Amino acid sequence: MPEETIFRKIINKEIPSEMLYQDDYVTAFRDISPQAKTHILIIPNKLIATTNDIEIKDEILIGKLYTVAKNLAKQEGIAQSGYRLIMNCNDDGGQEVYHIHLHLLGGQPLGKLVTL
């Protein structure tokens, strides 16, 4: 997997984004093609290509993604009404950028997920 992704450029502020949060470990910004009224991407600053590439040493970092998501949901005013968190993995899972990212979706009823 490539080391250079569009997300790396966003983390490094080489391309513009609507940045909502950034620290030494995590960056969060609005999705440029939102699928809901609120659609935020939360990414680790460390490149991890897919969920299959998460290692034991990444457990705290992955937990931080969810803590940031929770805080952003509260900041966006959607924590009480509800929201969805999604992480896609590989082509069949719908992953388009090979740098893991957590989608925070909300601000409207999202309906049920398709189940098999």
Which residues have a catalytic role annotated?
A: 101
Question: Kind of pairing, strands 26-30 and 38-44?
Answer: antiparallel
Give the CA count within 13 Å in the CB-facing half-sphere of 49: 8
Burial status of residue 32 (CB atoms within 10 A of its CB: 0-12, 13-18, 19 or more): exposed
Q: Please give the Cα distance from 90 to 101 (Å, whole number).
A: 12
